[in-house]
């Protein structure tokens, strides 16, 4: 069995850390416990794919699909040498079927002991650290949900009438504000443009207005990445400026959001944070935006550091891609949120706070079994996209895994766009290779305004004028963006960045790592420079005879200038992966798919890429049929967060 795992590693099917865990356990347990050794390696492998645990039921029902070993590494030689997952399971007598595998794990000294690396719960096998994370989150959220807060419904209704006005139809934004008053845990989920920022400002105003005679609530705003935190700050500031009915509490609503790492306080050379159970955050309310990007380890750190008396409010789109690291926190907590599943008691209470009753179909007599949904509000109507055409219709169909309208569009994008108004802001280009002239033409047109701005550097050395020029260039970077599904290969992010750099800047880009006009994305938090993963800057010369510097926007609306030599972990950002684009929006988004199927092509990936576009979306792909195949595939991460 170990020989087979070594072959899997040699052919790139599992990671070195997966094999190492198996080898260490084999040394401790000997040849008599191959079942535990193999399942431990598979659990570690699943963790690398984003699953906090190995679901044994899924493993036995669909072993190849569950493990999803990367086909791109398979050669004729490897297929002859390596046993398939099903064959490898069958080769160990104790793993002949799921029941015997469960029995072997239960009797193993390496499972469920205090110092063991593995924990078995029901049919889910965990590495102990991730089991603790999940249990910590479940226990904390259960306690916050159980802490029902006293609310004067009449006073709450008066405040909501003031903030939202009289309603002629159901307002889910208003419902979310009412929901947040009931307990110390709330989720607000919905797609782009559905009003999450609009709601959160009014939610905070509601909390501040109903706090009684106490001091203003201490509110903290956070997001997983620097880019998402900056967008949260900007959106809340803009919304506050338009809201005239909260002048009495406006000063008590913060606008500055920080990254979760900065909120918790990183400790150098450690996985831990400065804020934890023994040194909690000073916050009465914590709001986390883009919560779909938060992994299980980070969420465990958050709830560990947040006092039990504090409110935790999660904002995000449950249908977006899950976190890069293990876990699918928001997706699991919001499962079935479209149907509501509110208990009759909750529905009756919410109806007291509004003049328009909740839709009948959102009430479920058995809603108590959907415990997280009793604290969740989902927004359905986008103010940004028309659901009947273009980006809105495409995103909705992909999200619902329907292919009728999509297939029609893919069949002849140009004809559809010319003949039907519903295709007004989406285009598709079938390109046989990544460096096709049509791709180059699209890129050059998209980045032409950027090149023009680069030529408009102020003649004087006036710092204000130069900073204004840099701000304009950074703003222009939000107008056009290429998104790739993969990082490596001819259709990957790295190759496209090299290609685009050459198309736009010629030999200057090929000969030098740094050149004027190079946009960069920070790939790791750098606390010494106060830069966060996802921050975007651009290389510029403040005057024609000065050396290159990289301009980054500041939270205060200014510009920071840093020498390129100080930036050790950045990528060129003409193209970025769809994963890295989460939390961002671009006027024209171009999504590029590879010419072959890969497991990462899912409906969540497509939906996330499509919804980064504000006004125009273009799809580039070699094989349109792969788009339909991707729509049929969805991310289903294992985990027990919603169980028990």
Instruction: Quickly count: other Cβ atoms within 10 Å of residue 619's Cβ.
Output: 23
84 versus 18: which is more confidently predicted?
Answer: 18
Q: Which of 127, 156, 184 is the last residue of a domain?
A: 127
**Residues 48, 34: Cα–Cα separation, whole Å:** 21
Q: What is the pLDDT of residues 57-82, one digit of tens each?
A: 888 887 776 777 665 555 555 556 77
Residue 319: partners with Cβ closer than 8 Å, 6 or more residues away: 191, 331, 399, 604, 607
When pLDDT is cut at 50, 70 and 90, the band that residue 418 belongs to is: very low
Does 250 count as an annotated binding residue?
Answer: no
428 and 318 inside one domain: no
194 is in an annotated binding site: yes
Let me know whether 102 and 208 are in one domain.
no
Full DSSP string of 284-329: SEEEESSGGG--HHHHHHHHHHS-TTSEEEEEE-TTS---SSS--H
Q: Tell me: pLDDT of 20 over 90.
A: yes
> At which of 346, 379, 412 does a domain end?
379
Among candidate residues 384, 261, 402, the one with its CA nearest the CA of residue 317: 384
- Domain CATH for 587: 3.40.50.300
The response to whether 193 counts as a known ligand-binding position is yes
Q: For residue 607, tell me if it sits in a domain.
A: yes
Whether residues 359 and 427 share a domain: the answer is: no
| Residue 363, in any domain of the structure | yes
Asked which of 96, 127, 158 is the last residue of a domain, the reply is 127
pLDDT, the chain, mean: 86
Judge whether 641 lies within some domain. Answer: no
Q: What is the mean pLDDT of residues 607-629?
A: 90
Enter the tokens of residue 569: 């972990």
Do 374 and 395 sit in the same domain of this protein? no
Q: What is the 3-state secondary structure (H, E, C) of 435-451?
A: CCHHHHHHHHHHHHHHH
The reply to whether 292 falls in a domain is yes
Residue 259 belongs to a domain = yes
pLDDT of residue 189: 93
Q: Which is more confidently placed, 558 or 212?
A: 558
Task: Indicate if 466 and 610 belong to the same structural domain.
Answer: yes
Q: Quick one: pLDDT at residue 419?
A: 45
Residue 138 lies in a domain: no
188 and 91 housed in the same domain: no
Let me know if residue 640 belongs to a domain: no
Check whether 191 is labelled as a binding-site residue: yes
pLDDT at 434 over 50: yes
C-alpha 518/C-alpha 319 separation (Å) is 33
For residues 236 and 352, membership in a common domain is answered with: yes
d(CA 538, CA 558): 14
Residues 263-303: tens digit of each pLDDT: 999 887 778 899 999 999 999 999 999 999 899 999 999 99
The domain total for the chain is: 3
The CATH code of the domain that includes 79 is 1.10.10.1020
Q: Are residues 234 and 293 in the same domain?
A: yes
236 and 109 fall within a common domain? no
Claim to verify: residue 12 and residue 116 sit in the same structural domain? yes
| Shared-domain flag, residues 110 and 151 | no
Query: Could you give the percent of the chain with pLDDT greater than 90?
Result: 39
Residue 411 has pLDDT above 80, yes or no: no
Domain coverage including residue 69? 1-127
Residue 449: inside a domain, yes or no? Answer: yes
Q: Which two tokens stand for residue 68?
A: 């999803």
Q: Is the domain of 183 the same as that of 262?
A: yes
């Amino acid at each position: 069995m170990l020989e087979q795992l070594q072959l899997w590693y040699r052919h790139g099917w599992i990671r070195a850390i997966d094999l190492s865990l198996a080898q260490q356990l084999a040394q401790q347990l000997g040849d008599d416990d191959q079942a535990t050794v193999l399942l431990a390696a598979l659990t570690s492998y699943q963790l690398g794919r984003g699953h906090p645990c190995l679901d044994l039921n899924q493993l036995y029902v669909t072993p190849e699909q569950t493990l999803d070993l990367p086909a791109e590494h398979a050669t004729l030689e490897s297929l002859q040498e390596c046993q398939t997952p099903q064959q490898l399971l069958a080769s160990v007598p104790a793993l002949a079927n799921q029941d015997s595998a469960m029995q072997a794990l239960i009797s193993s000294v390496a499972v469920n002991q205090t110092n063991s690396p593995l924990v078995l719960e029901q049919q889910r096998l965990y590495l102990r650290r991730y089991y603790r994370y999940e249990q910590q989150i479940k226990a904390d959220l259960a306690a916050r949900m159980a802490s029902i807060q006293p609310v004067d419904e009449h006073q709450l209704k008066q405040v909501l009438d003031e903030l939202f006005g009289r309603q002629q139809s159901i307002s889910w934004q208003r419902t979310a504000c009412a929901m947040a008053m009931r307990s110390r845990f709330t989720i607000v989920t919905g797609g782009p443009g559905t009003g999450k920022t609009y709601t959160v400002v009014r939610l905070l105003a509601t909390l501040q207005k109903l706090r009684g005679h106490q001091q203003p609530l201490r509110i903290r705003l956070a997001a997983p990445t620097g880019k998402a935190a900056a967008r949260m700050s900007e959106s809340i500031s803009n919304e506050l400026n338009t809201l005239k009915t909260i002048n009495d509490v406006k000063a008590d609503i913060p606008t500055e959001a920080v990254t979760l790492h900065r909120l918790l306080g990183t400790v150098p050379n450690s996985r831990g944070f400065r804020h934890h159970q023994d040194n909690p955050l000073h916050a009465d309310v914590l709001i986390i935006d883009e919560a779909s990007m938060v992994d299980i380890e980070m969420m465990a750190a958050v709830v560990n550091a947040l006092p039990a008396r504090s409110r935790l409010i999660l904002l995000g789109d449950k249908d977006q891609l899950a976190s890069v690291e293990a876990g699918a926190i928001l997706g699991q907590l919001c499962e079935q949120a479209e149907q509501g599943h509110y208990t009759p008691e909750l529905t009756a209470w919410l109806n007291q706070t509004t003049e328009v009753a909740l839709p009948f179909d959102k009430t479920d007599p058995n809603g108590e079994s959907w415990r997280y949904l009793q604290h969740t509000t989902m927004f359905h109507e986008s103010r940004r996209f028309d659901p009947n055409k273009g980006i809105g219709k495409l995103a909705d169909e992909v999200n619902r895994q329907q292919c009728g309208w999509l297939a029609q569009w893919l069949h002849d994008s140009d004809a559809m766009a010319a003949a039907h108004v519903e295709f007004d802001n989406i285009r598709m280009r079938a390109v046989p290779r990544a460096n096709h002239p049509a791709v180059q033409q699209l890129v050059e047109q998209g980045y032409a305004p950027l090149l023009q701005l680069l030529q408009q550097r102020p003649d004087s050395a006036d710092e204000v004028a130069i900073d204004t020029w840099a701000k304009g260039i950074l703003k222009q970077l939000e107008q056009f963006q290429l998104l790739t599904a993969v990082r490596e290969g001819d259709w990957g992010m790295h190759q496209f960045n090299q290609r685009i750099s050459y198309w736009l800047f010629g030999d200057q880009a090929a000969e030098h790592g740094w050149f004027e006009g190079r946009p960069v994305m920070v790939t790791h938090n750098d606390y010494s420079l106060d830069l966060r993963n996802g921050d975007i800057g651009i290389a510029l010369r403040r005057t024609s005879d000065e050396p290159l510097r990289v301009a980054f926007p500041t939270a205060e609306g200014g510009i920071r200038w840093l020498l390129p030599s100080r930036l050790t972990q950045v990528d060129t950002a003409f193209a970025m992966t769809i994963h890295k684009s989460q939390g961002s929006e671009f006027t024209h988004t171009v999504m590029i798919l590879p010419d072959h199927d890969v497991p990462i092509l899912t409906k969540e990936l497509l939906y996330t890429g499509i919804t980064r576009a504000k006004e125009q979306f273009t799809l580039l792909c070699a094989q349109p049929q792969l788009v339909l195949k991707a729509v049929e595939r969805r991310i289903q991460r294992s985990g027990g967060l919603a169980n028990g």
